[in-house]
Amino acid sequence: MQTGTAHLFIPGPTNLPAEVQRAMIVPMQDHRAPDFADLLAPVLDGLKPVFGTHAARIALFPGSGTAAWEAAIANTLSPGDKILIARHGQFSALWAQMAQALGLRVEAIDVAWGAPCPVREIERRLGDDRHDEIKAVFVTHNETATGVTSDVAGVRHALDTCFHDALLFVDGVSSIGSIPFEMDAWGVDLAVAGSQKGLMCPAGLGILAASPKALAAMEASTMPRSFLDLRAMLNAHDAGSFCFTPPAQLLHGLRAALDRLHREGLAQVHARHHRLASGIRAGIAALGLKIVAEHPSFASDTVTAIRTPQETDAREVIEIARTRYNTQFGAGLGPLAGRAFRIGHLGDLNEGMCLTALGMAELSLKAAGARVDLGAGLAAAQAVFAAHAPTPAFAIAAE
């Protein structure tokens, strides 16, 4: 029998703030009633600064980030179109697989798991595309499987340098709401997120932001779509509702989560994630372990993938954490299965929670046979947190 608090340190779903949980305890309501717009409009408006956009339109689809992936493709591209995508982790590979399943021609750039999106190689491929066959470039901003963040602005620069008109698609599922995302400034045409990570809500909403250029591309798209029809959903949003029954309780939670993000301040949210991630990384290094990210300059501030020693099975580390210490860590995916585990450090998180994650990781690693000095990771993280104290906490309760 487990006692006390269950510790969730996976990269999503993330911990739900109490005020988000409370906000969802509401009666069922009529989503066709005129006052439903009073709930929906603030959610759509509150998402815009989180995405870093004034110009884009935002649509909410019942589903997950994967549903928003498919909506982005189905509404702006056509069967037979060619896309360019870097595969450097589980989720970038899955996005490429989806594109192929939907009838697109996929030109993939395969790089090591642990490396970021290869901007220079993308620029070279775009420069060689003399007949503008490439209709879109897909970028996974934050590869959740490896804990690597890529340079979206660099990809936009590559497109502009080559005078290439391809659409820029960005998966921001594990970045938006936690680390800087500047849709307008980076020239992103379609940005994808989900409700269950940095937005601190249950899974259930795929979120798609579309630039004016992306909206214009809908006119030429011949991809079949019905449930994921962006034009129909935007029209429904304009009328204050959805095309079909929405998860209304989740919308109440998302509104509370957005209020919380804006009350803390997005710059402070981003700084907090960087500070906490720095402590986690310092702790892992002090244990003598390596992270999957090949260089600290592109290590993610939302999830750290940790390589276990050769003699230690990461799956055993995860199982010990779960069964002995009531703690959930993320599993290694694909070729990292059994060779790495992941600590998610995004959303509703603070220093004490990160120290708990490190402490549980130390105990689990030790029990699995890894040669780690108990307390070394904690001390290193504490040193980081002591040297970079947070600003005074923002008011949790609504004024």
Q: Please say which residue of 262, 281, 309 terminates a domain.
A: 262
| pLDDT exceeds cutoff 70 at 399 | no
Tell me if 43 is assigned to some domain: yes
Together in a domain, 118 and 169: yes
Tell me if 182 is assigned to some domain: yes
Together in a domain, 231 and 271: no
Check which CATH number belongs to the domain holding 322 and give it.
3.90.1150.10
Structure confidence at residue 394 (pLDDT) = 64
Q: Please say which residue of 247, 262, 277 terminates a domain.
A: 262
Structure confidence at residue 4 (pLDDT) = 87
Structure confidence at residue 395 (pLDDT) = 53
> In this predicted model, what pLDDT tens digit does every residue of 319-352 receive, in sequence order?
999 999 999 999 999 999 999 999 999 999 999 9
3-class SS string, the chain: CCCCCCEEECCCCCCCCHHHHHHCCCCCCCCCCHHHHHHHHHHHHHHHHHHCCCCCEEEEEEECHHHHHHHHHHHHCCCCCEEEEEECCHHHHHHHHHHHHCCCEEEEEECCCCCCCCHHHHHHHHHHCCCCCEEEEEEECEECCCCEECCHHHHHHHHHHCCCCCEEEEECCCCCCCCCCCCCCCCCCEEEEECCCCCCCCCEEEEEEECHHHHHHCCCCCCCCCCCCHHHHHHHHHCCCCCCCCCHHHHHHHHHHHHHHHHHCHHHHHHHHHHHHHHHHHHHHHCCCEECCCCHHHECCCEEEEECCCCCCHHHHHHHHHHHHCEEEEECCHHHCCCEEEEECCCCCCHHHHHHHHHHHHHHHHHCCCCCCCCHHHHHHHHHHHHCCCCCCCCCCCC
For the segment 271-286, the average pLDDT, to the nearest whole number, is 98
| pLDDT exceeds cutoff 60 at 156 | yes
Q: Please say which residue of 262, 278, 305 terminates a domain.
A: 262
Predicted model pTM: 0.96
pLDDT averaged over every residue in the chain: 96
Together in a domain, 217 and 232: yes
